Structure 1
């Protein structure tokens, strides 16, 4: 997205350009010259200049990121429900031979059965797995805006079934249905955010997704903290009903937002793409003709006579891109994320009291949001690969430390050591691997295959997450493995494998235009050579 360096005089020339660039008979060399100007302008921008010149792009990225609140809210909601006293009383099973004193009366100890605890937490992911594979073809056909609006309207309907559920089985089905629109949101949000902003804003725009994931968990933490002492159905009905706060306002906002100019350019709707660029930036400071020319140049480079298809993702250089996206998504489940998602339940099994566990869960979520903001600076200036590798390394060490702490029994000191390490792992995950992942996902895929690639990538996330949730639930549940902090050994081992894989296969894409990224994949450059490789501005292969 180019900058008008010379002010309004140049803008007058740009308007004349604006109509020229859409003449389909115009030679490739002509719009290539404009594309070079636009790409150079993006490279020469500072972060602050990019924000000032594209304020609405930042705003619409913020709005789209709000979609992630809904999936985050529900993921953490189910994680908190299995630790919520009344929910356990209502739907739990007795542990043979164990009792507790409640209000002076000895009563059996109850827990949510291991199989249902895992099932409740994977039901939404199963639905989302369907949703992400629907998202790719649907978005390629009707665009990001309408695909997202359809998902939001469906979500409004599906919340009813969850709210009125009176058994765990019905809750399972309700969560499965809610998961379908979540899949659409999670597949489209990083792709849309990365397409509407200039190079310097791609990191913070896509990392906002992780920040809103933390915000969703903060809302859940606050609500369940308030209701953990309630002893009637309101303890879980009201947190469920609060989901209705999000879909309709977001649908109205997204109806007003511009479609991705990259999507419009792919469809040959160049005039609409230019108008979209002008809505994203300050009209006096952007040259929409040059910007669309830059998009045309990349799309011509990727041009194919075939319609985008899932099969194409697994051929040639696109296979490498697909594998990177799938790896980064999947690795989120193996480097500390599941401890973050089950923080309250983890704290309970580490021997922390109910109120303290919910308070620590809320503190964890608040710290995650703050650390995501720090990650904007780190990713923008240090790079994606750098903070991903260092963040994963630190988390792996801490996970092994958590496992060691879990070997020291159930004393107060050991309990607090496990809780502290669990909190630190959950928070540091949002400083390194998690936010860097969103940027990598948004940048790696080819433009013409982006909706399909992000859909398949998120699908791989759920395929890995579903068995991992059952494993995590089994390891923590008293009726299962009852490992508490010793689960750190398992996640430390998987985290180490992910770290080694990332070191050899994850390239550095900081400061690269989509044209440069395409060329480097086409040249099959090894991941560790990307940072020092120079791509000439005139190169198209």
Structure 2
């Protein structure tokens, strides 16, 4: 196979031609066209991706794996701060400074309305951020949009560090949420676009691993400081947020742009160079890979993408799947995972034990996320999501039952155990599978907008759920403790039923095949069995 990138182009001034009349060097190229036989090249590139094993894909695209890892690292900042605020609510020093005395327990607590407000402020900011991310990324690309977000993150941390009241903490969280929206909208799309087909699942699921790592760091830091009663107990964990943005910005400055985005913009030569940077030249043909991308994109509209298109034709179904899978993250156990420390306290554990269990939960989540890479790569997305959610439905109802039998030590330990299991299994099945589905479902042209509005759905569902979760757990509110398992078990059951009828299996499918399956309106349960021939275009 020829590894040279060949294009037909008009010679520019100063260009030199070899004896066959082919251009060997062009200083200025106004119009770039792929080889006339680009469809054959595209079919060959797609065939190669289908034939690759997972390890062959890793060896062929080592730098794609590296840059997916770096982009995914941006998620650690949202995870860190989400869990940080959740842990601050349970932190004695923070409660003593900003809370009110609970006469029943003799301890200071943050009142429910501020618990909810602090935990939803970042999500509200991110909701705005994801709507900014789509048009911004479509215009300037994933790389520069991410750099904008990282620099904004550096600035907003200052406000949180110097906050001396709950309203200022609220504003700080709101502003920090803006760059979160950019990161969370761009990361799954970028990761799914720079790796070959066999690596789409693990490359996007790394996002969940970094979410777990963020919670581990927060858990370790707050566990260390939870016995201190001065302001350093929450100011030092806040300052540690500065560890991430600048180093990541330096790395992202040197990152390659998504070749799919470049092809969409007609910058074919740059796309080919990006492919070469992502893989080993000896193991791929950049010209054929760009041709494969052209084949998919040439069937899309040339107009600038807009949000209205997400709700038209077959794109409506794709948008609904992305929005639904995002929304389900908040309805199938995620809220217990995000409030693990506070949940353990309300289940009857001591503060020190609650923080220790929170740290153990986060560590187990990271381990199980890595195990999920194997499952989704070899067994697919749909079965792992459905069976994982079914297991959590059972565990959530078991949690509610354990909380209903009395207030004994055994009942408290059972509640803590079920809460831990729900948190861990959520990050083993539903959560990591969601990232793979999000990265694969949308069309290439509308991907930045689709992932953005999908994450917006996540925040729209999460914000009222945070209020509900805080009210249910807070002793001055609903004081339900583990009985909240009945509520989340019911919502998880609804997610399970919806997924059974609506979630398609896209394992082992190229983006061309996925486009065709959606255009043919194939049933979700028949996605895996429907045959698409290599030469078919629709």
Given the two structures, how large is their TM-score scaled by the length of structure 2? 0.95
Alignment partner, residue 111 of structure 2: 113
Answering whether residue 332 of structure 2 is matched by residue 335 of structure 1, we say: yes
Q: 489, 492, 503: which one pairs with 2:489?
A: 492
Q: CA deviation at 1:283?
A: 1.5
Q: What pairs up with 1:316-327 in 2 under 5 angstroms?
A: 316-327=313-324
Aligned pair count?
Answer: 521
Q: CA deviation at 1:98?
A: 2.1
Once residues 33 and 210 of structure 2 are traced to their aligned partners in structure 1, the CA distance between those partners, rounded to angstroms, is 44
Answering whether residue 183 of structure 2 is matched by residue 177 of structure 1, we say: no
Q: What pairs up with 1:72-221 in 2 under 5 angstroms?
A: 72-95=79-102, 97-99=103-105, 108-221=106-219
1:410 alignment partner, SS class: coil
Q: CA deviation at 1:41?
A: 0.3
Q: 23, 28, 46: which one pairs with 1:39?
A: 46
Alignment partner, residue 274 of structure 1: 272
Alignment partner, residue 104 of structure 1: none
Once residues 401 and 94 of structure 2 are traced to their aligned partners in structure 1, the CA distance between those partners, rounded to angstroms, is 32
Q: CA deviation at 1:284?
A: 1.8
Q: CA deviation at 1:17?
A: 6.0
C-alpha distance 72-54 of structure 1, shift in aligned 2 (>3 A): same
The Cα offsets for residues 424-472 of structure 1, whole Å up to 9 and x where unpaired, read as 0000001110000000000000000000000000000000000000000
2:356 alignment partner, SS class: helix
1:110 alignment partner, SS class: strand
Answering whether residue 401 of structure 2 is matched by residue 396 of structure 1, we say: no
The answer to whether the Cα contact below 8 Å between 1:32 and 1:297 also exists between their aligned partners in 2 is yes
2:428 alignment partner, SS class: coil
Alignment partner, residue 505 of structure 1: 502
C-alpha distance 160-27 of structure 1, shift in aligned 2 (>3 A): closer
The answer to whether the Cα contact below 8 Å between 1:336 and 1:395 also exists between their aligned partners in 2 is yes
Alignment partner, residue 516 of structure 2: 519
C-alpha distance 297-363 of structure 1, shift in aligned 2 (>3 A): same
Answering whether residue 410 of structure 2 is matched by residue 422 of structure 1, we say: no
Answering whether residue 356 of structure 2 is matched by residue 359 of structure 1, we say: yes
Once residues 8 and 275 of structure 2 are traced to their aligned partners in structure 1, the CA distance between those partners, rounded to angstroms, is 12
Once residues 471 and 489 of structure 2 are traced to their aligned partners in structure 1, the CA distance between those partners, rounded to angstroms, is 17
Unaligned runs of 5+ in 1: 1-5, 100-107
Once residues 482 and 25 of structure 1 are traced to their aligned partners in structure 2, the CA distance between those partners, rounded to angstroms, is 65
Once residues 37 and 340 of structure 1 are traced to their aligned partners in structure 2, the CA distance between those partners, rounded to angstroms, is 45
The Cα offsets for residues 308-348 of structure 1, whole Å up to 9 and x where unpaired, read as 00000000000000000000000000000000000000000
Once residues 280 and 491 of structure 2 are traced to their aligned partners in structure 1, the CA distance between those partners, rounded to angstroms, is 47
Q: CA deviation at 1:18?
A: 8.8
What RMSD over aligned residues (CA atoms) do the two structures have, in Å? 1.5
Q: 68, 72, 78: which one pairs with 1:71?
A: 78
1:311 alignment partner, SS class: helix
Once residues 33 and 93 of structure 2 are traced to their aligned partners in structure 1, the CA distance between those partners, rounded to angstroms, is 69
Q: CA deviation at 1:496?
A: 0.2
Once residues 34 and 67 of structure 2 are traced to their aligned partners in structure 1, the CA distance between those partners, rounded to angstroms, is 34
The answer to whether the Cα contact below 8 Å between 1:338 and 1:472 also exists between their aligned partners in 2 is yes
Q: CA deviation at 1:172?
A: 0.2
Once residues 34 and 456 of structure 2 are traced to their aligned partners in structure 1, the CA distance between those partners, rounded to angstroms, is 40
The Cα offsets for residues 167-189 of structure 1, whole Å up to 9 and x where unpaired, read as 01100000000000000000000
The answer to whether the Cα contact below 8 Å between 2:92 and 2:227 also exists between their aligned partners in 1 is yes
The answer to whether the Cα contact below 8 Å between 2:7 and 2:33 also exists between their aligned partners in 1 is no
The Cα offsets for residues 358-377 of structure 1, whole Å up to 9 and x where unpaired, read as 00000000000000010000
The Cα offsets for residues 42-66 of structure 1, whole Å up to 9 and x where unpaired, read as 0000000000010000000000010
Q: CA deviation at 1:301?
A: 1.5
C-alpha distance 315-426 of structure 1, shift in aligned 2 (>3 A): same
C-alpha distance 228-287 of structure 1, shift in aligned 2 (>3 A): same
C-alpha distance 237-26 of structure 1, shift in aligned 2 (>3 A): closer
Once residues 135 and 396 of structure 1 are traced to their aligned partners in structure 2, the CA distance between those partners, rounded to angstroms, is 34
Once residues 98 and 276 of structure 1 are traced to their aligned partners in structure 2, the CA distance between those partners, rounded to angstroms, is 63
Once residues 372 and 378 of structure 1 are traced to their aligned partners in structure 2, the CA distance between those partners, rounded to angstroms, is 10
1:416 alignment partner, SS class: helix
The answer to whether the Cα contact below 8 Å between 1:18 and 1:289 also exists between their aligned partners in 2 is no
The Cα offsets for residues 95-141 of structure 1, whole Å up to 9 and x where unpaired, read as 2x425xxxxxxxx3221000000000000000000000000000000
2:90 alignment partner, SS class: coil
Given the two structures, how large is their TM-score scaled by the length of structure 1? 0.94
Q: CA deviation at 1:411?
A: 1.2
Q: 28, 37, 44: which one pairs with 1:30?
A: 37
Q: CA deviation at 1:30?
A: 1.7
Once residues 8 and 505 of structure 2 are traced to their aligned partners in structure 1, the CA distance between those partners, rounded to angstroms, is 34
Once residues 152 and 531 of structure 1 are traced to their aligned partners in structure 2, the CA distance between those partners, rounded to angstroms, is 39
Q: What pairs up with 1:363-402 in 2 under 5 angstroms?
A: 363-402=360-399
Alignment partner, residue 293 of structure 1: 291
The answer to whether the Cα contact below 8 Å between 2:32 and 2:268 also exists between their aligned partners in 1 is no
